Amino acid sequence: MMNLGRTWVLVISPVIVAIVIVIVIAAGQPSSTARGISDVQEAAQVAAVQPANTTSAEAQPARAPEGSGDGIQVHGHWTIVVRDPDGTIADVREIENALDPNGAIALAYWLGRSNYVGYWSIHVYEAAANGVAVGPCVSSSGGGAWCKLVEPTAETADTWRFPNLQVSVPTAQSSPNQFKLVLSGSATAGKAGSINTVFTSVGSCQSSQTLCSGVVAFTAKQFPANSTISVQPGQQIQVTVVISFS
């Protein structure tokens, strides 16, 4: 059965055209910690899980065609707070993004009981022209890397992985269309840089285990050039993502 204990999933819009699922699988091993994945390999995955470039101020959820009835939408509301080491707020951003096409595929697999929901993670980073992360966190070799917020039992901490991500479904919700999934965590910047790309990802497992190697992007956003978030070394990046359904 579908692992409803990990998250809430509803049906998405029935119109999905020419989408390609991106599933990162390390052969024979269950997780990035267990399989000993290097930060170089992890950074190489950015190109494979790249969100679509969005030039408008806000990415809009896909809508059903006119005359086909009400569409079902899935989108994420992000709040990113950058704090100085003394706790002073340096920047606050709120953005909206839509369901990634790979997330749509994952939903279909979960609802069809072909796959199961795994661990969640949040990625924030500065992407170079070739899609590779160049900061603001630091790889073990000293280069730039994305900041990855993961659930506490999913991976171990290092200079770019922060196992403090909390996943919850608030109980104070009065009607089904108000139910939300909330992801929240933080990372500490290791180098000066910017944030111009964010996405959530989730394990899509072939068994009921939550720790697995299959990972798909769920919601994603690439910022316009004039909307990047500047980050300095030592600053804390606090991220809250509210995934909602309507």
Residues 50-70: tens digit of each pLDDT: 444 333 333 333 443 444 445
Strands 197-205 and 215-222: antiparallel
Q: Token pair of 186, please?
A: 């933080």
C-alpha to C-alpha distance for 53 and 62, rounded to whole angstroms: 15
32 has pLDDT over 50: no
| CA–CA dist 160, 59 (Å, integer) | 27
Residue 12 reports pLDDT greater than 60? no
**φ/ψ (deg, to 5) at 132:** -80, 140
- Say which residues have a Cβ less than 8 Å from residue 208's Cβ, sequence separation at least 6: 1, 3, 116
Residue 212 near residue 118 (C-beta atoms within 8 A): yes
Nearest to 56 by CA among 245, 195, 225, 244: 225
CB 90 within 8 A of CB 83: yes
**Which amino acid type is present at position 88?**
T
Dist CA 207 CA 81 (whole Å)? 36
Average pLDDT, the chain: 75
d(CA 164, CA 162): 6
Determine which of 35-49, 52-66, 214-228 has the lowest per-residue pLDDT on average. 52-66
Q: CA triplet 220, 75, 180: central angle to 5 degrees?
A: 125
Regarding pTM above 0.85, the answer is: no
Q: Of the given ranges (61-70, 164-173, 195-204), which has the lowest mean pLDDT?
A: 61-70
- CA-wise closest residue to 116 among 187, 49, 216, 17: 216
Query: Tell me, what DSSP letter sits at residue 30?
Result: S
Closest CA to 135 of 185, 92, 194, 186: 194
